[in-house]
Structure 1
């Protein structure tokens, strides 16, 4: 039977479950088939442990229920195991369930299908011996009769299905190859071909999307699948498309419209579609309303009853402009932690859970990825190649820990390019600047405070509506308690964008890294390009700043201690005669400032917030300036 490891109660899914009689095939045919499926990245469950007792484990029943295909290897001894027969009964039940029916693929391993179907020859003898054994053990004729009846019915039904036979293909290596190819072909019709690994967290989304489609209705219905890049929108759309396409007269899947829209036209659609025909259309990765109009705009009114349009996008505004009702927009959320661990493990270890000595490091990746499948897959693939580099377990752990540290600070190119699309699609430069401000400086801050800052910094624009633009593109979100939330991975993407702006750290628009900030302040190296500085001193050594250089356009300055103790604030030390000119500053936060006054060369005209706990400042500036500041803050 089946498993690379144990199964949890989480909503994960295996693509293949292998049912077999251990004594007959565990060390031979079944293990070869299992290994061949893993090499093809097919998520396979095979019970590698010897079974104890007569009752089938709940874990195995759970694995059967969550598998797409069950491969049953009928060998000479298969019917001599009540465990195998109970397993087969469960597989047949899953095959016949009303929805999400499982595929049963029989393999007749040196047995005649007729003997399995009719329970003749060795199967008749095995069942007779099994019946006698449990008559004595259970001493309950009714229970025995019911179980034997289920076993026989399951054997007959399974053997009536066309499968693979060693009589037809006697070469076992060739037979394994044929079975694997058969499985891959079947999976191709059910799941996207590029996602041959573990399908995790998809079933829940598919169910919700199908409910929005209301397949029994004769209306023409449009729905949207909305979410950030790499969250799984295309995967969900493909699975749904493959599942329901046969219910339509014509079906079209326009993939990656964002990149291919210039090359797409309506000719393919018009050649194959007849007026008033029931049609299924998927437009994947749409970024502009014009893309929808150019592809299907003039034909929407000629679609037949029951037609469906599915649009996937990173931008909610596209769906709203096209007229998709609010209730027909499905937002794709990240995977749960158990699902994320399963997906990461498949790509990092080629099985459904981490090695025991990699558990903690794997959980670090899961915590960082925040349920984004793209990040989990790319991290997994990258770290998988690190496993075979070193001999000792300690060396492997050290290499992994170091690699994870680097990945958390610098995204892989594949991830950066995918996520950056939403940023690139922002319609105005100031919106890009606002996102970089938020990602670098305002994560976790109150929405009102951020809007006040943005209003002062980008006064010619209305920041409230701008936040909506960023939300619609899944770049930020608002928590229930009105705080700004930025996904950790998107924050690292923003850091990368700032770094790409200049190789010289003194010329970067925003500084947050302790090494960069300390370099600029220690060496008085700031330039007019620097618009914001944020430095958390909680885990850092105090240092002495020589000056602010030529940062004449500095608008945000924050030196704080996120874990401060009142009597142990880690400070940025400055000389009393430190020279600086802050004419554009909007926000000043300086924990433990060692200056006694800010009056010299300090212009409060644009200031919206001042926060200086545990400082040595005894005088700020003249009274009228304090009055202005208070008005602004109120």
Structure 2
């Protein structure tokens, strides 16, 4: 049972080193003791383990140094062996310098004799010193050292075999004491393990089902979330109970890697073929652990490897059997943990409850922060200490920030760091798709880089697809920007309106008054690198030509002019959010024929209460999202039908809560990729169409949707992989409601319709405003190219599908019908395509709590 200490650099090769004089005890007492220790999974070094031809002295000295404790068996003739005395010298040196535990056993010799070197034992010691060739002074010096070592060892409480009568009794006592001492060296975990037990039980339950294999577990979470504490608690609970032959807990794998390949190879050789429990904590790169984890054949069955990391991608590359994600603590547990550290009780004292709740809210469920701030307030009875703690909590020099900064330092490229800092300063709470477009427009590979930040626990995406991060990470990012440039004018990103800049790349400028504030547009003359700009209730006067041509994102809330100025030319702008504005028309008539923002992908004019006219949006060829919600004076969108048919990139059109009353069916049913269509108020068309690539169609049900839904029809365009593929192999339809967190699954069957009660369960999953995805599930052998979902309400209709719009390559179609009335025909397909109709019965099962 070999174990490392909790000190990062120390790895023990053995639990026990056995020191004895072979001629006296090898064949009986020591043989029985070694056997008993081994039977109890105590990893014991015995010189029988030395390979023949090995140089004894260096090997033995290393073995002593690499053992957690030493058992020294003193016998009648022990002092006759200079080798034994040299071993004893090394053992006592490790005892004095490293705290190695020494357990003396007195076999047929009295402890007093060893302590004072009297009688034959003392004479033998003198003769041994005399046998070694050296001068008289060196002999006396050596003898003095040996006497001191013997005295110190004999002064330690041990076992005298004569007292116990039989070897069996004394050996059992020794083994029990060794086990007790090993157990007492369990790893230190949290002083107040609030919320720890459920985590540990969940992981151990998984491990228990893998005992016939080598089990590899990953524990993932942000810095300070409790990964190490959880791993230590698991280690403590199972390391003796499951009788592992080897135990290794390495708190910082970098120390092993710094030794080069030799460190990893040494570890592999130590563990080869053994049933081991290994914890590799705080792994920051794949290369650090691949040599240990990838070849599970190194270990015996029943071995358990636990890897903790802030980067889930590392755990995925290691092909772990299970990833346990550490979540932030909830409010109740956070307050309890803080209270135990600050007040030594489960809740705050009455006088400090309100301040305590503020501090806990600021900590955001991060155990490291709760423990650090709570401990600092222990026995503090003045409210000022608690108030100061709130400001100090986010200090860049604090314990929490020092822990988190390592995650930022571990990012592999400047591009990753730039994206992280941009999100910290500007995009928390923003839609991930929108942010991705903006940052891609800045020349970043944002799709993969944002995923990487999520995998590294630096960023998360909430259910509404909004980017979020822990407050401490946000503050750390902003502190990094401050640190990189002490003067505001030299910072790369600004979010305070009083800061100025020379090299700014991003700026948030908000009016602090109830009224708009005015500034000259030429204030931006020197901001040549500006690519991210947010203006809230700020009016710019003068020539807009001074705005940087590097702008990719412009959010301007409270824009006061009635149209965009003629000189406003932003060829690189990707996202333009002109919400809560006074514009009557987007561009002046003199500019509407120009491609003023040819790279624009998202345009949001929502809550522009005076907006009456729009330009020809087909002049924005790459527009993907057009949002004009809550514009009550907007009654018509110029050239809507012709424009949208030309805008092949458009996926979202949102015009609800406007004066627009009718939308042509050709718009609703267009097959050019429009996947999200939000209807206006008033008279709805009786058929809504949503298109998605592949086997799924995501959309948002209009907020004022008429719930008298009669049919759901899915038009699935697909192609078989080979000629032998069976066409009709659709197995089920899933309706996933992200708003209600439900999944309804409808399996293929012969029943053709729903009764009223069943149909209510269908319509309840398509409530107004719900974010929904409809998916079709096929067996193997088909490639689904497109899925179009039609929501039919009101009167029966016949929709002609234009054959000219069909794909040129061979494809087939399938109609999937969820119907309240089984005899309705809804879609007429082009004659050249293969069509089949499949109907589904009531839900076979549903899952709640997605």
Q: Give the TM-score category using the shorter length.
A: 0.5 to 0.7
Q: Determine if the alignment matches structure 1 residue 480 to structure 2 residue 480.
A: no
Cα distance in 2 between the residues matched to 1:535 and 1:414: 32
Among 519, 537, 552, which residue is 1:545 paired with?
519
**CA distance in 1 between partners of 2:326 and 2:565 (Å):** 51
Question: Residue 361 of structure 2 corresponds to which residue in structure 1?
Answer: 367
1:583·1:602 contact (CA, 8 Å) conserved in 2?
no
Matched, 1:518 2:512: no
Q: Which has the higher contact order (CA 8 A, sep 6+)?
A: 1
Q: Using a 3 Å threshold, how does the CA distance of structure 1 residues 280 and 581 change in structure 2: closer, same or farther? A: same
Match of 2:188 among 170, 185, 193: 193
Alignment partner of 1:533 out of 484, 495, 507 = 507
More strand by share: 2
Aligned to 1:612: 578
Q: CA deviation at 1:218?
A: 1.3
Q: Structure 1 unaligned runs (5+)?
A: 1-184, 389-395, 521-525, 561-570
Q: 2:301 aligns with which of 284, 289, 305?
A: 305
Contact 1:252 1:282 in 2 (8 A): yes
Match of 2:441 among 456, 463, 474: 456
- The Cα shift of 1:480 comes to 1.5
User: What's the counterpart of residue 250 of structure 1?
Assistant: 246
Q: Is the 8 A contact 1:576 1:595 kept in 2?
A: no
Counterpart Cα distance in 1 of 2:183 and 2:369: 24
Superposed displacement of residue 558, structure 1? 0.6
TM superposition shift of 1:612: 2.5
Partners of 1:541 and 1:241 in 2: CA distance: 61
Aligned residues: 415
Gap change, CA 1:425 and 1:543, over 3 Å in 2:
same
> Where do 1:547-566 residues align within 5 Å?
547-560=523-536
TM-score (normalised: structure 1)? 0.60
**Aligned residue number for residue 278 of structure 1:** 275
Shift of 1:447: 1.4
Alpha-carbon distance change, 333 to 188 in structure 1, aligned in 2, over 3 angstroms: farther
Structure 2: where are the runs of 5+ without partners? 1-179, 601-619, 625-850
| 8 Å contact kept, 1:544–1:574 | yes
Residue 437 of structure 1 pairs with residue 426 of structure 2: no
1:505-564 Cα deviation digits (max 9, x unpaired): 111111112xxx2342xxxxx31x21111244467886543512411111111123xxxx
Equivalent in the alignment of 1:633: 623
2:569 pairs, out of 584, 603, 628, with: 603
In structure 1, the partner of 2:640 is none
State the match for 2:267 in structure 1: 269
Give the deviation of 1:592 after TM superposition.
2.5
Shift of 1:399: 4.6
Alpha-carbon separation, structure 1, partners of 2:253 and 2:577: 48
> Counterpart of 1:468?
451
1:368: Cα distance to partner? 2.0
CA contact 2:362–2:390 (8 Å) conserved in 1: no
Over 3 Å counting, the alpha-carbon distance change for 1:333 and 1:519 in structure 2 is closer
Structure 1 counterpart SS, 2:524: coil
Instruction: Give yes or no for contact 2:224–2:368 (8 Å, CA) kept in 1.
Output: yes
Q: Deviations over 1:264-289 (max 9, x none)?
A: 7136535643x432111111111112
Separation (CA, whole Å) in 1 of partners of 2:198 and 2:186: 15
Cα distance 1:627–1:602, how it changes in 2: closer, same or farther (>3 A)?
closer
**Residue in structure 2 matched with residue 157 of structure 1 by the alignment:** none
Alpha carbons 1:596, 1:616 under 8 Å: kept: yes
Query: Alignment RMSD, CA only?
Result: 2.9
Inter-partner Cα distance in structure 2 for 1:540 and 1:436: 30
Q: How does 1:54-69 map to 2 (within 5 A)?
A: none
Name the structure 2 match of 1:350: 344
Q: Which has the larger radius of gyration?
A: 2
Alpha-carbon contact 1:476-1:484 (below 8 Å) kept: yes
- Higher helix content, 1 or 2: 1
Mapped contact 2:454–2:460 kept (Cα < 8 A)? yes
Matches within 5 A, 1:3-402: 189=184, 192-193=187-188, 195=190, 197-214=191-208, 217-246=211-240, 247=242, 248-258=244-254, 261-263=257-259, 265-266=263-264, 269=267, 272-273=270-271, 275-295=272-292, 300-325=296-321, 328-384=322-378, 387=380, 396-402=382-388
Alpha-carbon distance between aligned partners in 2 of 1:377 and 1:186, rounded to the nearest angstrom:
29
CA contact (8 A) 2:377 2:385 kept: no
Deviations 1:345-395 (A, max 9, x none): 22222332212121111111222222110111222233447x25xxxxxxx
Shift of 1:398: 4.4
Q: Distance in 2 between matches of 1:207 and 1:539?
A: 54
Secondary structure of residue in 2 paired with 1:366: helix
1:507 paired to 2:490 = yes
Aligned equivalents of 1:626, 1:384: Cα separation in 2: 62
User: What's the secondary structure of 2:324's corresponding residue?
Assistant: strand
